[in-house]
Chain A
Amino acid sequence: MPRIQPDEVRTIAALARLRLSEPEIERMTHELDAILEYIDTVKNLDTGNTEPMTHAVPFDCPLRPDEPKPSLSVEEALQNAPRRHDAFFEVPRIVPGSGEGA
């Protein structure tokens, strides 16, 4: 029984905003199935009392003084914009409320 089906890959690709062709989906489903089977070996290990290791450094979050420093210039901020309008970045029309904006 495969661990992952093409439909699930399609759903995940949509969540990741990644357009994949049908051959890509097929190939990826096949490869992911093998990878997931291998990855499942970690499930055999008992990690009951082990704390998750989220960071490889042992210290706490350093803190920065609240001192503003010079901004990028508007030109620097926009110099790589594929499309711009005056000093704005331009995107296709946003239907208000269409996103998941917090």
Chain B
Amino acid sequence: MASPQVVGASIAELADGVRARKWKARELVESFLDRIHRLDGRLGCYLLVDADGARWRADQVDAAVAGGRDPGLLAGVPIGLKDIFVTRGLETTAGSKILRGFVPPYESTVSTRLAAAGAIALGKLNMDEFAMGSSNENSAFKPVRNPWDLERVPGGSSGGSAASVAASLCAGSLGTDTGGSIRQPASLCGVAGMKPTYGRVSRYGVIAFASSLDHPGPFGRTVEDVAALLEVIAGHDACDATSIPSPVGRYRQACAAGLAGLRVGVPEEYFQAGMDPEVEAAVRGAIDEIARAGAKLVPVSLPHTQYAVATYYLVCTAEASSNLARYDGVRYGHRTAEASSLEELYSKTRGEGFGVEPKRRIILGTYVLRSGYYEAYYGKALRVRRKIADDFRAAFSKCDVLATPTSPTAAFKLGERNADPLQMYLADIYTVAPALAGVPALSQGCGFTRANLPIGLQLIGPPLGEEAIFRVAGEYQRRTDWHKRLPKDPS
């Protein structure tokens, strides 16, 4: 048997090797566990490593292969799960002290599907507390560092999911994207990540931040890896009333389908002041490459883009204030040591358990939902949200996919933007509008800054237009080698 080279390996290579008995799932798991053991102390990607569970499941896959049974599309592929997916019997915290020690008695739909396809969960990945943040500095436990520069952030909130793939501490991972939390860290860490259409991937067992905006989705080194993971986790789930019943697309095939006849829209509002010139140059270069590959470029306008960040923060904080009401110290999680009344039990438990960002959002969300304020804020935001979604509808009557930057800048330094939450929010400008509209969007590498920091290209599709996105992404990746560059292992 060949010894598996896991650094930089794609999911397809690893799974094919398991199926072809080139290597065992157990060997893959040991290789990744060894890397985690050696390197994650510096990176901080994992909140929990389930070595025993991973070994046990790897042996199951190997037994299936040995017995001639189909181990599934993701045979023996070691993956990581953002710690927002509940895992039966395995502590799940959503990066918050208020959930420390919480051991779910049930399993999320997507992690169940991954396991059924032969994937092996190595552990739970670090994240901003309750997925609130763009730098992973809001984790209650420890920051994640960007594998390309340990002084910089990996992005957030799925920082652990992006950094672990970039650093080859897992072959692929799952994250969630509420306003950019998959795409922005994918961009900052130089990997591919997709926020599928809202409802395409089940939210059952995904700890809620903002229910109408939460999108679970995959990270991979290549767009094909993202496509493979999405094929496994997407699809109707009767446990989620917002789950889309239509059949899952052929995303892997789409990656190789070419661009013939495809129109790619370039929204003018996504190329305005505030963008780092290096980012702009790389994204414009990528769009030119896509045109050279045969796509027709179409100028389009998304006129309500300027309202997207404000709308997003109104909707997400209102829903968050509601979703976080259940953390009261009665049934699970942190509970204050001393409480002589219910009042005290609640306010002390929550005051002690939540970090700064959830507190800020609970207060803002409670503020805007109060009687007398609802119409002016939340009601208004829902109407603006409709206009933003209508912008996309209109744009997609002229084109099949939109190409934009993912983030206005490459990875920034830890601590650099902590002091001013509003400035941190404003950096979500390119990712929040697709989240509000519920349309699919992918980020993939499209270059590096002079400081060797990855830059991301965002491709946005119409509802259920994942295949069109993968066509562009696959073709662009075929013509470039950004995805082949790997960060050096931290010393």
Q: Which residues of A contact B (CB under 8 A)?
A: 4, 8-9, 12-20, 24, 28, 31-32, 34-36, 38-43, 45, 47, 50-59, 61-62, 64, 72, 76-77, 79-83, 89, 91-94, 98-99
Contact = CB atoms under 8 A, between A and B. Distances in A.
18 contacts: A12-B370, A16-B321, A17-B350, A19-B351, A20-B359, A35-B313, A42-B314, A43-B376, A47-B380, A52-B385, A53-B383, A56-B198, A56-B436, A56-B437, A61-B241, A76-B105, A82-B329, A89-B331
A18 B245 CA distance: 39
A12 B348 CA distance: 15
B350 A19 contact: yes
Interface of B: 101-103, 105-106, 198-199, 212-213, 238, 241-245, 304, 306-307, 309-311, 313-314, 321, 325, 328-335, 339-348, 350-352, 354, 359-360, 362-364, 366-367, 370, 376-377, 379-387, 389, 421-422, 425, 436-438, 463
A56 B212 contact: yes
Contact of B386 (A52, A62, A82, A89): A52
Contacts, number: 165
A93 B339 CA distance: 10
Contact of B384 (A47, A56, A64): A47
A57 B332 contact: no
Nearest to A41: B310
B307 A19 contact: no
Contacts of A43: 376, 380
B63 to A, nearest CB: 28
Given A20-B351, A39-B314, A13 B363 contact: yes
A15 B340 contact: no
Contacts of A57: 198-199, 242, 244, 438
B101 A12 contact: no
A90 B306 CA distance: 49
Contact of A17 (B311, B328, B332): B328
A80 B89 CA distance: 11
B103 A45 contact: no
A81 B332 contact: yes
A25 to B, nearest CB: 9
A40 B425 CA distance: 15
Given A19-B347, A39-B314, A91 B342 contact: yes
Given A41-B307, A57-B438, A81-B331, A51 B342 contact: no
Contacts of A24: 359
Nearest to B241: A62
A17 B346 contact: yes
A58 B437 CA distance: 11
A89 to B, nearest CB: 6
A50 B103 contact: no
Nearest to B421: A31
Contact of A79 (B105, B243, B438): B105
A80 B101 CA distance: 8
A83 B383 CA distance: 44
A36 to B, nearest CB: 8
